[in-house]
Amino acid sequence: MTKVKKNYCQSGIASVAMVLVIMSIAMLVVASKSFVTVNSEKIKRNVLRSLESYYNAESGIEDALLRITNSGYTYGASNTFNLNGGTVVTTVSQSGRVRTVVAEGKIGTAVRKVEVSLSTRNSGSGSFKYGAQIGAGGLTMRNNSKIIGNVYSAGNILAINSPEITGDAWVAGANSIQDFDSIGIGVDVHANTIKKCVIGRDAYYQNISGSTVVGTSYPASPDPPVEALPITLTQINNWKIEAETGGELAGYLLDSSEKGFLGPKKIAGDMNIINSAVLTLTGTVWVTGNVNFANNAAMQLSPLYGDASGVLIADGVITVNNNFYICGSEGFNGATCNAPTESFILVLSTNVGASAILMQNGTALRAVMYTSNGTLALENNVRVVEATAYAMTIKNNVQVIYDSGLINLQFSAGPGGTWDIRTWKEIE
C-alpha cells in the first residue's frame, strides 16, 4: 500500500498568507474608518465655522441698524471689527431715503453675507402745484416783489408799485385781480374781474377794464372754483402725534454757533435758533409756542432723509430774520445750502394772527412756508421755494421761486422716527 505524506511547509505558507490578507483587510477597514472620521470632523468644523460666520454677519447687521436708527450713534460707509475669532465688514449705501446694509462675516475660509434694506417711514404727502396758494384772505404784492411760477388765490389779488407774476394768475369766485399795470402777469389770467393789468397771453373773465391783453380775451368765462389748501387739519394733527412719540421738552434754545439735533419732539414752549447756531432735524417737531430763527443761523434736515421732506409745526408765531437759512437733506455748508435735492422742510404755523409767519431781511430758504389760518408776510429780500397761506403779503424785492419737485412732496418721519425694514436676506 502506498502512503501519502502531508506537505506541512505548504500548509504553513498558506496560513501566513491568509493572516496577511485578513490583516490587510482589517487595516483597510481601520484606515477607511479613520478617513471617514477625520473627514467628518472636518465637515463638522466647516459647518460650525459657516454658522459662526453667519451669526457674525447678523451681528454686523444689528450693529449697523442700531447706528442708523439712533441719532446718538455714528456710522460710516464701511466698518470692520473682530468677533468670535473672525472679522465682520459692514457697508452702508443710500438711495433716496432707502439704506442698504451688507454685512460679511468671515472665520477662516468660511464667508457668509447678509443684506438688509430699510427706509424712514412715510408720514404723508402734499401736492404744491403753485408758487403761491392763498385762501380767502387774498394776496397783496408790493415794491418789485416777484413770484416765479403760478398763483392761485381764493381772495383778491392786489398789486402796488410794480410787482410781477411770471406764470398764470387764478382768482377764485367773484373776486378780482388789479393794478398789475407795469410789468404785469406773464401768462394767463383767470378771474371774475380784471382791472388795470398787463396780461402776457390770454384773459378769462366776466368783467375787465383798463387792461392790456396780448393774447386772446375770453369774456363770460366761468369763475374759477375755490381750491382747498394742500395740507389738511387731519394731516397736521397726525404730525403732532408723530412729534410726541419722541418725548417733550420745556422750550428749546440754540445760540452762539451751537449745533443741535432734534426730532421727533414736542416743544412745550418757545424755540429759538439764533446767532450762527445750526439745528439738524432728525424727525418731526411740534412747538406749542413761538419760533424765532435769526442772525446767520440755519436749520437743515439730516442727510438720512434722502429725497424725502421734513416738518416743523408751531402753534404760535414763526419769525425768520436776518440771514437765516433753511436747507433740506443736502445740508448747510456754513454759508448757504449745498446743491439742492428733492428734499425740503415744511415750516407750518397754525396761528390765526395777522403775522402768523413773518420773514424778512435776507433770509433764503429751501422751505415751504405755510400758515393754514393766519397771514404770511414776506419782506425785504427774502427768497423761498413756495408759499401757502390763508392771507399773504409780499413786498420789497421778495422772490418766491417755485420748484417743480413740490408737485409731489413726500414727507418722512425722519431717521429719529420710525424705520421700516423692506428686505432681510442672505446673499452669500
pLDDT, tens digit (0-9, with 9 covering 90-100), for 25-56 = 656 555 555 544 545 666 667 678 888 888 88
User: Phi and psi (nearest 5°) for 190?
Assistant: -120, 110
Domains of the chain, by residue range, sit at: 8-121+418-426, 124-154+227-412
Among 8-22, 78-92, 258-272, which is the least confidently predicted range? Answer: 8-22
CA dihedral 92, 96, 97, 102 (to 10 degrees): -20
Question: 271: which strand partners?
Answer: 252, 291
Which of 310, 330, 326, 323 has its CA nearest to residue 239? 310
Rounded (10°) CA dihedral 208, 210, 216, 221: -10
CA-based torsion, 248, 273, 231, 95: positive or negative: negative
Rounded CA gap, 345 and 311, in Å?
6
Assigned C-alpha cell, 324: 437765516
pTM over 0.85: no
Give the DSSP letter string of 275-326. Answer: TT-EEEESS-EEESS-EEEESS-EEEE-GGGTT-BEEEEESS-EEEESS-EE
- How does pLDDT run across 380-428, given as a tens digit for each residue? 988 899 999 999 999 998 999 998 778 888 888 777 767 788 898 888 7
At residue 23 the predicted structure's pLDDT band, cuts being 50, 70 and 90, is low
Instruction: Indicate the class that CATH gives domain 8-121+418-426.
Output: alpha beta
Contact criterion met (CB below 8 Å) for 192 and 208: no
pLDDT of 297 reads: 96
Residue from 315, 338, 316, 314 nearest 326 by CA: 338
